[in-house]
Structure 1
Amino acid sequence: MRLMDSPIFLAFLATLFTWGMTALGAALVFFFKDIKKSMLNTMLGFASGVMIAASFWSLLNPALEMAPDTSSLPAWLVVGIGFMLGGIFLWGADKLLPHQHFSADKNAVEGLPSHLRRSILLVLSITLHNIPEGLAVGVAFGAVANGHDTATIAAALSVAIGIGIQNFPEGAAVSIPLRREGLSRFRCFMYGQASGIVEPISAVLGAFLVTQMRSILPYALAFAAGAMIFVVIEELIPEAQIRDPKEYSKAHFVTAGAMIGFTVMMILDVALA
């Protein structure tokens, strides 16, 4: 197999794109010194919509169709197991990896005790949920090597494009708030783009595993979906919630972003399939 035909290499290239989109979004810190809460909420909502749509059309639906060909267990059980394992994995990572959310109190550090600077802890909170995004891309490309009708390069590309699109505002949502922590614009940019570096790593790992063990493919697809849904419910939506009672009228920005993100990802999946 030529290198350019390898699903592992293609997954790596695809996530270089998603990482690049994160860096492009992080570069907005050179032009803006602050970000409105309503805009941040819209970005987080958009990312949520993309991840929810990708979880079903790009991961769970193909997993349900592939399961009968790879396992004697009922398809719903295979997908259910994989989905829950994905959530459990992220729950464990959330408990172990030191991190902190932008909206949290400065002393509210999650994960194992750490003496890391707040800026690093903030970046780690975003890096954590980039893991399932990279896995989703890697597993999608790895599935192509198994020759199933629902696993095509076009479908895998739609996942990468969707993740890349939502990574652009996500990069800005990391770098610009870091300016409020007193960091220079260059350091904010470097931290923002660094949050996406885990995507190529997890993509290569995911693609490698499913190409070596065909039987785990539906589990892996569902696993990535479960991890992504966990991130949406545990991280993105709570982060976007309005905490000031005077700003409840702005809550619709979150919903609008989620609806737009879901629609964009749905169009990508259907149009490119």
Structure 2
Amino acid sequence: MTEVFIGSVLSALSTGLGALLILFMKGSVTHRWRDTLLAFTAGIMMAASTMGLIPEALSIGGFIPLATGIFLGVLALTILEENIPHLDLQHSSKGIEFDEKAMLIIAAITLNNIPEGLSVGVSYASSSQDTGNLIAFAIGLQNAPEGLLVALFLINQKISKLKAFIIATLTGAIEIVMSLLGFYLTSYIEFLVPYGLAFAAGAMLFIIYKELIPESHGDGNERTSTYSFIIGLLFMIFLIEIF
């Protein structure tokens, strides 16, 4: 219980760690750097799902729970995306521009953190404790650039840097609650564990292919983003092998 709480808190607070950069920044972030970060985190999440969540779900429950969980994860993210506004980044060489629906965007990002929190909690409920640490670390790395982008958006809405940092950090707080919920559900109803792991994998794969990769290719940085994706993938595989 202590480990899942610590893991969920650290992964959630990574959003604030990324947002912390705005307190020291004088300008905006170029799309090249933003796309590089997004592609890198996509590679990390790909390795975490295909080498962590999916093998664990397959070994515990077999193919049927794996396939069912993945499709449920994709379906949940599809429904979520269709019912909440999307953070629409306009591609410009001058930096990042955002639309004006501040509160809706903050709510959207907060809701998008729900499946990420569930992923962490379910992973800690599996028989392999290392899986929980692996997914918490992967989600944490993914949250950092997300926190930076949210904070930049808020500053663009004439919000002070300190308030933007605080709000961006709080958008990740829901992950702690959802992580604990996912952990308790799968701990006390053990047959849900493979479904939960596969659900988390499906949600992550949806985010990678539907959000991170297209966003990282939207400003003519496809080659750089591709290299960054591969580096992120290899980096996570290296960590899996080491730990």
Inter-CA distance 125–39: structure 2 relative to 1 (3 Å threshold)? farther
SS in 2 for 1:214: coil
1:267 maps to 2:234: no
Q: Give, in whole Å, the separation in 1 of the partners of 2:37 and 2:72.
A: 28
SS in 1 for 2:191: helix
Query: 123-132 or 78-87: which moved more?
Result: 123-132
1:89 maps to 2:76: yes
Contact 2:53–2:131 (CA under 8 A) maintained in structure 1 = no
Equivalent position of 2:173 in the other structure: 197
Cα distance per residue 1:71-105 (max 9 Å; x no partner): xxxx2222111100001011111222x32313159
Equivalent position of 1:50 in the other structure: 44
SS in 1 for 2:227: helix
Alpha-carbon offset, residue 28 of structure 1: 0.7
Cα distance per residue 1:124-169 (max 9 Å; x no partner): 343343222222211111114xxxxxx1x23321221222233222
Equivalent position of 2:132 in the other structure: 156
Inter-CA distance 143–59: structure 2 relative to 1 (3 Å threshold)? same
**Identity over aligned pairs, percent:** 31
Equivalent position of 2:17 in the other structure: 24
Give 1:177-196 correspondences, 5 Å limit: 177-196=153-172
TM-score by length of 1: 0.79
Give 1:1-273 correspondences, 5 Å limit: 6=1, 9-32=2-25, 33-67=27-61, 75-96=62-83, 98-103=84-89, 118-144=101-127, 151=128, 153-243=129-219, 248=220, 250-272=221-243
Contact 1:34–1:177 (CA under 8 A) maintained in structure 2 = no
Contact 1:210–1:217 (CA under 8 A) maintained in structure 2 = yes
Q: How many residues end up aligned between the 2 structures? A: 236
Letter of the 1:12 counterpart: F
Inter-CA distance 46–195: structure 2 relative to 1 (3 Å threshold)? farther
Root-mean-square deviation (CA, aligned residues, Å) is 2.1
Structure (1 or 2) with the larger CA radius of gyration: 1
Contact 1:21–1:168 (CA under 8 A) maintained in structure 2 = yes
Letter of the 1:17 counterpart: L
Q: Give, in whole Å, the separation in 2 of the partners of 1:12 and 1:48.
A: 25
Contact 1:49–1:261 (CA under 8 A) maintained in structure 2 = yes
